[in-house]
Structure 1
Amino acid sequence: MGATGGVASTLNEKFDASPWPRVCEKFRQEFGQHAFSRWLGQLGYNGIDGGTAELTAPTKFVRDWIQSHYAPRLKDFFSAEDPQVKALSIRLCTSAAASPNGNKASAGENASIAHSPATVGSRADESSALDPKYTFDSFVVGKSNELAYAAAKRISESDDVAFNPLFLHGGVGLGKTHLMHAIAWETKRNNPNKRIVYISAEKFMFEFIAALRFKDTHAFKQKFRAVDLLMVDDVQFIANKESTQEEFFHTFNALVDNRCQVVITADRSPTDLEGIQERIISRLGWGLVADIHPTDYELRLGILQSKAEQSKNVEVPAEVLEFLARRITSNVRELEGALNRVLAYATLVGRPITMDMTRDVLQDLIRANDRKLTIDEIQRAVADYFNLRLAEMLSERRARTIARPRQIAMYLSKQLTSRSLPEIGRRFGGRDHTTVMHAVRKIEDLRRDDSQLDEDITRLGRLLEG
């Protein structure tokens, strides 16, 4: 049993009603098995009422996460199956409503229980929830994650590790869960007899509360303390859950005292965790704390190139990968999802991937990731870079030392903002939109032939993105 709980064993129950099975499959294809297991697999389907597809979620967190990250696409999937569907409703399970796997939820902390208590103390293979795509081989290493990667590799390859626990922290979609899965796969490959448990902190709480309710705490303790490697994802979710924290504290101590490895992830460093007991925070900082920073342009491009190489039937132009690496900056998960969407569209429609097609398919993501750079900011950055006064770049002067930076600024304004060509022209001293078009084409041609100019523009892009 892993972070997804009884998802695999209850899929048939969830898929009884139409069009839910096809919506689930579309979600899985677009967002991947891990996202499906982690989020959609926790929902219940109640049918369609008055043009509204009705779903239920086991916790407020799950409901809010799906509403903010996946609701628009879920509505689109339902509408594609049934044109009558115009809205999507996700409500919490209540004491009168069945949770996704048929259990009843109770009030307070117990209302979060959405898994069968039969899973408590199970000896099932805890790797069942691991995604086979999340390995060290598929993890792209850069400056932002090299320490976390090296530490994760060391844990999976050696029984004598100087740090325990390993605490990985960083924002959403930066690779923490990928590394956790990779540690499990590599550890199992190197030592198949090792007992490994990978679980989310939220699921840890589910199982502990269920153990209390069904008076089965002994089995719970046996499950989590009789392991060689315990990995707990997103530990911030047990904030302000005092009884769960108490059990987590004793489980942690028992494992470390027995020289068993513990790996923890969170969205922030131990010292920044709120609602967590001080004694737990102190122990989380005992070992190695590794921060996974937001990705830079080079790492994003490397991730996209690696993923594009796996798509043997569709060719992705380099300019499309570079465009995505520049514009989808929020997190790796969204970046990979953007490429998946482009690949799926090209495959289903039978069209080659182009810049125009990419912009059309991803217009919602591009808008969401638009950093709201202004033309003024671009002009000032380019002027500073080439040691010009801003007034010179906006003037009528045509000397090459001024005209070329001006063209670069126009090019970057077209690439990094959503402003129209006429508007860009007006901001460059009232020039016509055809002047901007000429500048963009000129710089595109020069980038292919002039490596120094290409490097200058790449560096300027990084400065503006940062």
Structure 2
Amino acid sequence: MVQESKNIGVSPTIRAATNGDVRKSGDDLDPQLTDTWRTICAGLRRDLGAQIFGQWIKPIKLSRFDSATGELQVILPSEFAANWVRERYSERLTLAWKSHSGDVKTIIFSAKAGSARIAEVKKSNAAAIQDNMAPKSLPGSSGSFRLELDPRMTFDEFIAGHSNVLALNASQRMASAEKPLFSPLYLQSSTGQGKTHLMHAIGHAYRAEFPDAKIIYMSAERFMIEFVSAMRRNEAMEFKAALREADLLMIDDIQFIVGKNSTQEEFLHTVDSLISRGKRVVVAADRPPQALDGVDQRLLSRLSMGLVADIQSAGLELRRDILQHRIASLPHQDVPADVVEFLARTISRNLRELEGGLNKLLAYSQLTGRPITKELAEEQLSDILSACRRRITIDEIQRTVCEYYRLDRNEMSSKRRARAVARPRQVAMYLAKVMTPRSYPEIGRKFGGRDHSTVIHAVKLVEQLRGEDTEMDNDVRMLLRQLES
């Protein structure tokens, strides 16, 4: 159980989920409560996207509500799902309930009856995952704000690549003993590329460097709710004072602060106060400052005056490294190399989906005893894969290969067997098999009506050459990167 978070008045412990369907247990639930949940779900679907919402939030079912204590119990299909939702979305859910219904004070996340028995059968491996996934928090507070940092989100656990090296270096500098050259640090990327990880890592490193420092980390949504609540309680001055005592202030998802004039005004004054006293400010958003609609120009100016560090979408190499690092951190996990490669190539939209897909696959294998194979991944991750897979055509592959090797496009269908022509053609056949769902006969027809056996030979030959010839492997990697970008 996670201890109750004092500043938001809601326990982050949640054990279940629903899409607005309500499962009654004990006393009937108030219809207003179910309507509120539907409203919350509509907002979460919009904010998280249909894919993540459908996988983790939609299965939630409301179970019981105790009006005397304000405790709401929700149910998830399994302990794994309950732990996952608790870890990833507990704060978002508790804040949503708090903003929509003052009756709900505590949320309890539970697993569906019977799921514990299944987990017990596989408890040896499952325990390793649960221990690694269990949400933990660092003790300590800044003013009236409890600091909660994910122990796994450190700089040591952040996998660096070409797409995120600027943001990583800037974050490390922000957390170091040296005075940073810039403040605020503005981390910008699309969903699931590592912004939140870097903010937690800054918090960990800064606390290690300055154990007595006052650190505040919260989402923009929570900032708004806490500010409004403080005003209603006539405690606005105390709220402002607590914020401005911070040595390090970090606000995530700043895009959600749009359109709130009083909140923006307070945030602006807080940023000004901290920067003028040499304190450190870090914000993160899914778009650059200039693209934040409905934000006061003065606040945009402050957010832009430091360093805006953009995190690009992770490339294939980085996605592969992240999967291998994750697997290495779990004992007794056997994930074949072809499965790692398959996941890295197909789940490319964001890193959160990539890790979520791997975790889902690991959990299913442990709970059913089925070995992890590419076929199992395709079966169990079909929803994620279909949403992520970009439709690459054979025509696109042929065009890219011809440009790379400086060949005329007609050579893909010609009868010429000169090595300078035949080898690129074989590479194109290999890529067509790897990157499209087309069969060998279908691929053969796109290459001048060649027999399927010719395509099979080309695929096997290129696979062999990649293991023997570094130059060939580099060529294929470069082509894959171009086609996936």
Q: TM-score range by the shorter chain?
A: 0.7 to 0.9
AA aligned to 1:362 is L
Mapped pair 1:101 → 2:105: yes
Q: Report the Cα offset of residue 356 of structure 1.
A: 2.7
- 1:153: Cα distance to partner? 0.9
Q: In the alignment, what sits opposite 1:308?
A: 327
* 1:222 aligned residue (241, 252, 265): 241
Deviation at 1:81, TM superposition (A): 4.7
Q: Counterpart of 2:274?
A: 255
- Per-residue CA deviations over 1:248-298 (Å, capped at 9, x if unaligned) read 111111111222111111112222222111111111122222111111222
**TM-score, scaled relative to structure 1:** 0.79
Show the counterpart of 1:282: 301
Query: In 2, distance between residues paired with 1:214 and 1:8?
Result: 14
- Asked if 1 retains the 8 angstrom alpha-carbon contact of 2:187 and 2:285, the reply is yes
Q: Which residue of 1 aligns with 2:11?
A: 10
* CA distance 1:201–1:77, change in 2 (3 Å): closer
Would you say how many aligned residue pairs link Structure 1 and Structure 2? 411
Counterparts of 1:250 and 1:422 in 2: how far apart (Å)? 67
Q: Does the Cα contact within 8 Å between 1:144 and 1:295 map onto a contact in 2?
A: yes
Equivalent in the alignment of 1:36: none
Cα offsets for 1:166-216 (capped at 9, x unmatched): 111111111111010001111111211001000111111111111222222
Q: Is the 8 A contact 2:252 2:284 kept in 1?
A: yes
TM-score when normalising by structure 2: 0.76
Q: In structure 1, which of residues 358, 376, 385 is the aligned counterpart of residue 377 of structure 2?
A: 358
1:126 aligns with 2:146: yes
The 5 A counterparts of 1:373-388 are 373-388=392-407
Q: 1:69 aligns to what?
A: 51
Q: Find 2:255's aligned residue among 210, 221, 236.
A: 236
Contact 2:255 2:286 in 1 (8 A): yes
Identify the residue that residue 230 of structure 2 maps to in structure 1. 211
Q: Structure 1 residue 7: deviation in Å? A: 7.4
Q: Alpha-carbon deviation of 1:310? A: 0.9
1:450 to partner: Cα distance: 2.2
What letter matches 1:431 in structure 2?
R
Q: Secondary structure at the match of 1:321?
A: helix
Please give the per-residue CA displacement for 1:334-378, whole angstroms capped at 9, x wherever unaligned. 111122222223333334333333233322222211221111010
Partner of 1:27: none
Which whole-Å CA distance do the structure 2 matches of 1:96 and 1:189 have between them?
Answer: 38
Counterparts in 2 of 1:416 and 1:101: CA distance versus 1, 3 Å:
farther
Quote the residue 2:313 is aligned against.
Answer: 294
What SS is found at the alignment partner of 1:10? coil
Q: What's the counterpart of residue 115 of structure 1?
A: none
Q: 1:344 to 1:59 in 2, by over 3 A?
A: closer
Contact map agreement 1:59 1:93 (CA 8 A) in 2: no
Q: What displacement does 1:70 show? A: 3.0
Distance 1:322 1:393 in 2: 27
Gaps in structure 2 of 5+ consecutive residues: 26-32, 62-74, 79-92, 108-140
SS of residue paired to 2:387: helix
Alpha-carbon shift at residue 66 of structure 1 (Å): 4.8
Once the two structures are TM-superposed, the CA of residue 313 in structure 1 deviates from its matched residue by: 0.8
Aligned to 2:66: none
Q: Which SS does the other structure have where 2:186 is aligned?
A: strand
Shift of 1:46: 4.5
Higher mean alpha-carbon deviation, 153-162 vs 138-147, is at 153-162
Aligned position for 1:397: 416
Change (3 A) 1:102 1:46: farther
The separation in 2 between residues aligned to 1:95 and 1:354, in whole angstroms, is 44
- Hey, what's the Cα distance between the residues in 1 that align with 2:210 and 2:203? 10
What code does the residue aligned with 1:314 have? Q
Indicate conservation of the 8 Å contact 1:58/1:100, yes or no. Answer: no
| Counterpart residue type for residue 146 of structure 2 | E
Q: Is the 8 A contact 1:44 1:56 kept in 2?
A: yes
Task: Give the aligned partner of residue 320 of structure 1.
Answer: 339
Q: 1:47 to 1:11 in 2, by over 3 A?
A: farther
CA offsets per residue over residues 298-356 of structure 1, 9 Å max, x none? 22222122112112211223333233222221111111112222222333333433333
| Partners of 1:310 and 1:353 in 2: CA distance | 17
Indicate the larger mover: 206-215 or 224-233: 206-215
Question: 2:215 maps to which residue?
Answer: 196
Residues 107-146 of structure 1 correspond to what in structure 2 (within 5 A)? 123=143, 126-128=146-148, 130-146=149-165
Equivalent position amino acid for 1:396 in 2 = K
Q: Aligned residues: percent identity?
A: 43
Instruction: Out of 395-404 and 369-378, give the one that drifted further.
Output: 395-404
Is 1:176–2:195 an aligned residue pair? yes
2:427 corresponds, among 381, 403, 408, to 408
Contact 2:177 2:209 (8 Å CA) reproduced: no
Q: 1:443 aligns with which of 420, 440, 462?
A: 462
Q: Judging changes above 3 Å, is the alpha-carbon distance between structure 1 residues 397 and 96 closer, same or farther for their aligned structure 2 residues?
A: closer
Runs of at least 5 residues in structure 1 that lack an aligned partner in the other structure = 15-20, 25-39, 83-89, 104-120
Q: Per the alignment, in what secondary structure is the counterpart of residue 305 of structure 1? A: helix
Moved more, 207-216 or 357-366: 357-366
Cα separation, partners in 2 of 1:81 and 1:211, compared to 1, 3 Å: closer
C-alpha contact 2:155 2:198 (8 A) present in aligned 1: yes
State the distance in 2 between where 1:96 and 1:198 align. Answer: 23
Contact 1:57–1:93 under 8 Å retained in 2: no
CA distance, structure 1, for counterparts of residue 167 and residue 293 of structure 2: 23
Q: 1:224 to 1:95 in 2, by over 3 A?
A: closer
Distance 2:270 2:426 in 1: 62
Instruction: Give the stretch that moved more between structures: 275-284 or 295-304.
Output: 295-304
Whole-angstrom CA distance in 2 between matches of 1:397 and 1:453? 21
Tell which deviates more after alignment, 352-361 or 156-165: 352-361
Q: Following the alignment from structure 2 to structure 1, what is the Cα–Cα distance between the partners of residues 347 and 404?
A: 25
CA contact (8 A) 1:231 1:262 kept: yes
Call closer, same or farther: CA 1:295–1:319 in 2, change over 3 Å. same
Aligned position for 1:29:
none
C-alpha distance in structure 1 between counterparts of 2:439 and 2:356, whole Å: 27
